[in-house]
Structure 1
Amino acid sequence: MSHTDQQAAYVLHGRPYRDTSLIVDFFTLEYGKVSAVVQGACRPKSKLRASVQSFIPVQIAWRGRNELKTITQAEPVAAMMFLNGDALLCGLYVNELLSRTLQPFDPHPQLYVYYQYVLNELVSGEDIEGALRTFEHRLLDELGYLPELGNQLDDQIYLLNVEQGFAALSGSGVSDKQKPFCFYGWQLNAISDDNYENLQVRRASKRLMRLLIDRVLGHQPLRSRELFQKM
C-alpha cells in the first residue's frame, strides 16, 4: 500500500518527531489504527497543524510502503468537539485506550461508529458514565476479549476468570479474595444489553471493564487513568 487517498479518521495520539514534525496515531474507518509522520506540523504556520488535533473528524491521505506512513493531506471535515473537565479526561482515556489496544491496519468499522457515539455523548454530557461503559464493552467485544455476558441466571453469583470467562459459584459463600471477581447474573445480563440505569449495574460494569481492560494492557497503566486519580 504505497499511497492511500481520502480516509475518514480521528487523531488518537501525537508525539514529537525530529524538530518540527509529529508521529500521529490515527483511527481510520477503513484501515483501523494508522501511524504516520506529519511533516512540519509543529511549525507555527503549518497548514496541517490544525488538522492533527484530537476530537476533530478529518480526511487524510498517506504514502509509504512501511508500517509508518507519511501524511500527504489532512483536512478537517467538521468543527472540533469541545470537551471540558471530566468529559475531556474521558475523551483522552478513550483515545489512549484505542491507541494502546488496536493493532496497526486492523480495521474495526463498527468500533469507529461507537467511537463517534462516545464522543457525541461526551459533548452532550447527559450520561458520560453509561457511554464509557458501552464503549469499553464494544471495544473488548471487537478485540475478542469479552467473555459471554448474557443469558445468565439472575440470582446466581458468577466468578470471573479473566482468561477463561465466568463460572457459576456454588457451595459455601464467597471469599474476600474472590469478591472483586464476583458478579450477579442479573448484573451481567444488564451489562450485556448496555443497560446502565441501575447504580449497582454501573458499579459492577466499571469493575468488570477494568478487570478485562487491565488484562489486555498488561502491567503498563494508562496515563489518563492516573490523571483522573490525581484530579
Structure 2
Amino acid sequence: MNNEWLNAYVLHRRPYRETSYIVDFFTLEEGRISAVAKGVKNSKSDKKSLLQPFQHLRLQLSGKSDLKNLRHVESVAPAISLMGTPLFCGMYLNELTNRIMPTGLASDGVYHAYEEGLTSLLQGDDIEVALRKFEFALLDEMGLLPDFTTDIEYEQPILPNCNYRFQHDTGFVCLPAEHENSKGLPGEALMSLAHGEFTPLSKKVAKVLCRDLLKPLIGDKPLKSRELFVATTKRR
C-alpha cells in the first residue's frame, strides 16, 4: 500500500492529539479506511485544506495496522459545493457509508453510486431518487436488497394489481384478496422499482423499504445528519 495511489473521498475527520486528525476515507480500491493526518490540525497547509468532504482525492497511505498514516494527498477534481438541503443529504451519504460499510471492503458498486449521488445532489436532481439509489446500492452490497420481481411464497411474478407484505430474510408475499384494502405494498410500485423507475408511488414504497432495511445496519444511535436537518428545518 505504501506506493499505491488510492481514489478517495473524506467521510469524516476528528481531532487526534494536539496537532493531527484521524480521517475516515472511502476509497475505490480498499473500501473504507482510516488514517492519521499528522501535524495538519493547526497548519495552513494544502493537505489540511484538501481533507474536506465531497472532494475526489488521490492519496497514499502507510502502516500495517488498521489505522494507517497519510503520506500524500492530492486533488483529482474541485470540491463539490453543496448548500441547503443537498448539503445535509451529502452528509447523510457520508454518515451512512461510514456507519454501514465494513472496514476494508472494496465495492465498485457502492463507490460509483456514492459519486453519482453527489453529482445528482450538485445538479439539483430529484433528491429522493438520489438517496434511494445510493441506499439500494448499499443494501445490495450487504446482500439485503430484496427481489422486486417475485412473490417468494408462491414463486410467481409480482402482479401490478396485488398488494404485498415484506418479510425480512425472505421477500415479498402477496396479501390474500380479503386483505386487499390493507396497507400493503402495491405490486405496481414493486414492478417499477424492479425496472429502476421512480414514480411518485414507487418513491414512497422505496422510502418505507429503505428505512426498514437500513435500521438494523444503522443501529440505535441516531444519525447526526438527520438530526441536523430536522433542527435546521425547525429554525426556519
Q: Which residue number in structure 2 is paired with residue 153 of structure 1?
A: 159
Contact 1:29 1:112 in 2 (8 A): yes
Report 1:1-231 matches (<5 A): 3-150=2-149, 151-170=157-176, 172-173=178-179, 179=183, 182-196=184-198, 198-230=199-231, 231=233
Secondary structure of 1:5's aligned partner = coil
Distance 2:3 2:158 in 1: 46
Post-superposition CA distance 1:24-71 (Å, at most 9, x none): 110101111011111123123233101110000000111111111111
Distance 1:167 1:69 in 2: 47
What is the CA distance between 1:219 and its match in structure 2? 1.6
Post-superposition CA distance 1:124-145 (Å, at most 9, x none): 0022221111111111111211
Tell me the C-alpha RMSD between the 2 structures.
1.7
Contact 1:9 1:28 in 2 (8 A): yes
Percent identity over the alignment? Answer: 38
TM-score scaled by structure 1? 0.91
Distance 1:17 1:184 in 2: 50
Secondary structure of 2:148's aligned partner = coil
| Amino acid in the other structure paired with 1:52 | L
Unaligned runs of 5+ in 1: none
Unaligned runs of 5+ in 2: 150-156
Q: Which stretches of structure 1, 4 residues or longer, exceed 4 Å deviation after superposition?
A: none
Contact 1:22 1:39 in 2 (8 A): yes
TM-score scaled by structure 2? 0.89
The number of residue pairs the alignment matches comes to 225
Contact 1:145 1:212 in 2 (8 A): yes
